[in-house]
Amino acid sequence: MTSKNNQHAFRLALLLGLFSTLGPFTIDMYLPAFPEIVKQFGTTASLVQLSLTACLLGLGIGQLVMGSLSDVYGRRNPLLISMAFYVVASLACAFSPNIGVLIAFRFVQGFSASAGIVISRAIARDLYSGHELTKFFSLLLLVGNLGPLVAPVTGSGILSFTTWIGVFIALAILGLYLLTMTKWKLQETLPSDRRRPSNFMEQLKNYGSLLRDRQFVGYMLAQGIMIAGVFAYVSGTPFIYQNIYGASPTVFALLFGSNGISLIIGSQVVGRMSHRVSEQAFLLFGLWVAFFASLTVLVVAIVHGPLFALVIPLFFFVAAIGITSTAAFPLAMESQSQNAGSAAALLGVIPFLLGAVVSPLVGIAGENTAVPLGVIILLTSAAAMFAYFILVRRGSRGVAQR
């Protein structure tokens, strides 16, 4: 790329990365306000938590729907409509008269936010392929991965001078900004001659063909299962660091943030070195790093080793997620130029589904042991490696032999 092209790619990655952060911001920003919402509506903690579940369902289901729609109608119009709905849903959440209305509009908010996640990735595939796609996707992740780090802090900052209503008004403003940028700065990247026919059964067939693509499914599962391990890490470390090791909230925030940095480092290494080292090599390397790091975590948990002995392998485990995600996405998308929206939707929704399964298991033995976390991330690492070797490696050998 020339210097001018590099600048354009960075600006585009910054914009698309903001769309990717819409999911984490929508999920995380209001979490510190849970106790306040309980008091406001005179309801229970479980019902307030149900508003989070509704948002996650919207994010998962929405990616499947919006990915297909973007293959039919192009990227720009579905994104414009979704961002308009996001602004309305955010304001409706802010002025909800009761918890039931809040839950309903949280689903709508998550559903509309999903378009930002899936369509931003489809746009990347529209514009780039091969090593250029890997480089661009690493830039997109550089921005997108900041979301989970910044969102809770931003939410806490807003709550320091206003109520939980201010959080949703801030999300509405963010949605309005993205709506404006889509209208004036984002061009259509899927020309009409490359779009899919507007037929529901045809869309189902698209998903069916993707799920019959052995290598695509292998990359999808390798990436999705690994990211599910991050969900287990996120749900387990607050209790492990603070309850077991007595870390203060400040120390926990620093440790959590350091692993967020490791995620960024992992993704950027792949992006910067993709012209020298193949994505396949990076993916396999990341899978092995995750396996040995998670095995170390389990051993430390069993012997109840010191905090630093747990933090170091977790740092490498999260870095491995950055490596595998950045390498697997372009490999999975490379042959999907005609189904980029649907393919990006499946790649996006699988981590949410698997994460929803594994996250509650971290606390299965109580809040005073780290062993379940070690077991779960070791199993996810092993399962991701199994999916890669069985579906990708063996499938490649089978094709070569034929």
Residues 169 and 209 in one domain: no
7/128 same-domain check = yes
Quickly list DSSP for 4-27.
HHHHHHHHHHHHHHHHHHHHHHHH
Contact 70, 341 (CB under 8 A): yes
Q: Are 207 and 342 in contact (CB under 8 A)?
A: yes
Question: Which among 223, 249, 194, 181 is positioned nearest to 380, based on CA atoms?
Answer: 223
Q: Does residue 195 form part of some domain? A: no
Q: Is residue 240 part of a domain?
A: yes
Longest CA–CA separation in the chain, Å = 66
Does any domain span residue 71? yes
Are residues 235 and 366 located together in one domain of the fold? Answer: yes
CB of 159 within 8 A of CB of 33?
A: yes
Amino acid identity, residue 168? F
What is the Cα–Cα distance from 18 to 31, expressed in whole angstroms?
20
Domain boundary among 126, 160, 186: 186
Q: Are 191 and 181 a contacting pair, CB within 8 Å?
A: no
pLDDT the model gives residue 302: 94
Task: Return the residue matching tokens 């509405």.
Answer: 172
What are the residues whose beta carbons fall under 8 Å from the beta carbon of 19, sequence distance 6 or more? Answer: 79, 116, 117, 119, 120, 178
Q: Could you tell me which residues come within 8 angstroms of residue 305 by beta carbon, excluding any fewer than 6 positions away?
A: 299
What does each of the 402 residues of the chain score in pLDDT, given as a tens digit? 455 566 777 788 888 888 988 888 898 788 777 778 888 999 887 788 788 778 888 888 898 889 888 988 999 999 999 999 999 999 999 999 999 999 999 999 999 999 998 999 889 888 888 888 888 888 777 777 677 667 767 777 888 888 899 999 999 999 999 999 999 988 899 888 888 776 667 777 778 888 888 999 999 999 999 988 887 887 677 778 877 888 876 677 678 777 778 888 888 888 888 778 888 999 999 999 999 999 999 999 999 999 999 999 999 999 999 899 889 988 888 777 667 778 888 888 888 778 767 766 776 766 678 898 899 999 999 999 999 999 987 655 544 443
Runs of H (alpha helix) within 186-278: 200-212, 214-239, 249-273
Q: Which of 116, 147, 192 is nearest to 344 (CA)?
A: 116
Distance CA 230, CA 237 (A): 10
Residue 299 and residue 171 share a domain: no
Q: Please check whether residues 390 and 264 belong to one and the same domain.
A: yes
Answer yes or no: are the C-beta atoms of 371 and 300 closer than 8 Å: no
Domain that holds residue 299: 200-402
From 129, 158, 186, the end of a domain falls on: 186
Q: What is the pLDDT of residue 249?
A: 62
Where residue 391 sits, what CATH number does that domain have?
A: 1.20.1250.20
Residue 192 domain-assigned? no
Q: What is the pLDDT of residue 365?
A: 65
Whole-angstrom CA distances from 141 to 29, 36, 396 are 19, 33, 28
Token pair for 194? 């490359």
Are 140 and 214 within one domain?
A: no
Residues 163 and 237 in one domain: no
| Sign of the dihedral through C-alpha 298, 301, 306, 311 | positive
Please indicate, yes or no, whether residues 345 and 386 belong to a single structural domain of this protein.
yes
Q: Report the distance separating Cα 332 and Cα 283, nearest Å.
A: 12
174 and 221, same structural domain? no
In this predicted structure, what is the pLDDT of residue 366? 65
Q: Is residue 204 part of a domain?
A: yes
- Give φ, ψ of 365 to 5 degrees: -105, 15
User: Are 178 and 211 in a shared domain?
Assistant: no
Q: What is the pLDDT of residue 395?
A: 53
Residues 96 and 124 in one domain: yes
pLDDT at position 400 is 42
Take residue 14 and report the two structure tokens written for it: 């910054």
Do 180 and 315 fall within a single domain? no
Whether residue 194 lies inside any domain: the answer is no
Number of structural domains the chain divides into: 2
Question: Could you tell me if residue 191 is inside a domain?
Answer: no
Specify the long-range contacts of residues 234-238, CB closer than 8 Å, at least 24 apart. Answer: 234/148, 234/359, 235/359, 235/360, 235/362, 235/363, 236/362, 236/363, 236/370, 236/372, 236/373, 236/376, 237/314, 237/373
Domain end position, chosen among 151, 186, 221? 186
User: Does residue 193 sit within a domain?
Assistant: no
Would you say how long the chain is, in residues? 402
